[in-house]
Amino acid sequence: MPRAAIYTFAADHGIAGEGVSAYPSAVTPQMVLNFLRGGAAVNVLARHVGAEVRVVDIGVAYDFGPMPGLIGRKIAAGTKNFSVEPAMSRAEAERALLVGVELAAQAAQEGIGLIGTGDMGIGNTTSSAAITAAVTGTQVAVVTGRGTGIDDEGYRRKVAVIEQALARHRPNPHDPLDLLAKVGGFEIAGLAGLIIGAAGHRIPVVLDGFISGAAALVAAALQPLCREYMLASHLSVEQGHQAVLRHLDLNPLLDLDLRLGEGTGACLGISLVQGSLKILTEMATFDEAGVSERER
């Protein structure tokens, strides 16, 4: 049975300063510490399914110092506020992407045979909605959800912020690095690289929810063959996820009204994938079990 690992990429978002999230950016590093202590939902579900959680700081706005268990690959202390300037430079987008590619290569070397994606980053549904709207050509309001649970006023602000940012930066939907640089996030770029790297090593990737979905859109835009290595673990409540899965032509395994991210849905999906593999490898054939032929 292939060993499974969930990669949870964490990063902060300058756009969070625009009041698009119900929680402050301080929650991103707090949750990273929670992941490292094993107390978060992703840790519980990963233990439940026998997978490992690997936490990557690719852009959290907090200096963790040396921290056992944390994979430190910080590109910058959060993105810039993309309502006023690009989220990152094109060079940073490229570096963030390569972090994921490198981690996938290491996973392959260690014999990891199944990779799950996960994310943490206050503000990242805003970035994911911007990417999804640009790539799929869907209206912003259709792909923008409530994230961690903003109220009606916050929701209207979130939609307006994304619409204005897309109008201001005009990211090229056919140039994924341009898209990442203008409205992306470091964790989304890292996850896109992870997916590309995993596919390159023929490792199936079990996608989590909406943020992982935005990363999958970027990965598939860079290399369409990645799509063949993607499995959608679940359909998120975050409404933009539907447009993502439709665009990628993926059927989610689960539809359980989840919307937590972290890699929680990926854990559940990994268990289903491993169960299917066991059916293929452990189940007796009718011949082996001495079961009679069909009639006539």
Amino acid at 8: T
Is 69 near a second copy (CB under 8 A)? Answer: no
Sheet order of strands, 112-120 included? 70-72, 52-59, 3-11, 112-120, 205-207, 230-232
Is 167 near a second copy (CB under 8 A)? Answer: no
How far apart CA 130 and CA 241 sit, in angstroms, is 12
**Catalytic residue at 288?**
no
CA-nearest of 53, 173, 196 to 119 is 53
Is 291 near a second copy (CB under 8 A)? Answer: yes
Q: Which two tokens stand for residue 108?
A: 């392959």
Task: Tell me how far CA of residue 28 lies from CA of 57, 119, 193, 208, 296, in angstroms.
Answer: 10, 10, 21, 18, 63
Is 288 near a second copy (CB under 8 A)? Answer: yes
At CA 248, angle to CA 243 and CA 250, rounded to 5? Answer: 95
Is 55 near a second copy (CB under 8 A)? Answer: no
Single out the segment in contact with a second copy by CB under 8 A; choices: 100-108, 203-211, 237-245, 281-289.
281-289
Is 153 near a second copy (CB under 8 A)? Answer: no
Binder of a second copy out of 17, 23, 108, 222 (CB under 8 A): 23
| Smallest separation (angstroms) from a second copy to the CB of 82 | 20
Residues counted in the chain:
296
- In three-state secondary structure terms, 182 is helix
Is 27 near a second copy (CB under 8 A)? Answer: yes
Total of chain residues touching a second copy, rule CB under 8 A: 44
| Residues belonging to the active site | 262
Binding residues (CB under 8 A) for a second copy: these are 19, 21-24, 26-27, 30-31, 33-34, 37, 39-41, 44-45, 47-49, 148-149, 253-256, 267-268, 271-272, 274-275, 278-279, 282-284, 288-292, 294-295
